Amino acid sequence: MLCVICKNTIEANPVNGYAGGNNPAPIYLEPGERCCDDCDRGFVIPVRIADHLNIDTVKVCVMIRNGRLLEALEFMRASDIPNLGVLPTTEEVIKMLAGKES
């Protein structure tokens, strides 16, 4: 199964062994879409936090859906979204996009 965000193969979670990926909502809302743990931590969870705090997340979701992960990352860093410590570094995103482990 491929991650809907970075297009890498979804690996089993090293803690619990679950290999079914994560729910990518609100970035992707189509039934059956899944994302990897890295994209869940790096993009989905921060967008959910922002959405919960009524921060406009539409721009970020559109950037991510269009494969503009680095641009979305920089936009989130420049915004007032709290808990940005969960965001991946630029280098980690580049590795994710290249299909390498971070």
Q: What is the pLDDT of residue 101?
A: 47
Domain with 72 in it: 1-102
pTM over 0.75: no
Residue 36 predicted with pLDDT over 90: yes
Here the tokens at position 95 are: 């590795």
Q: How many domains does the chain have?
A: 1
Top pLDDT among 35 and 98 is at 35
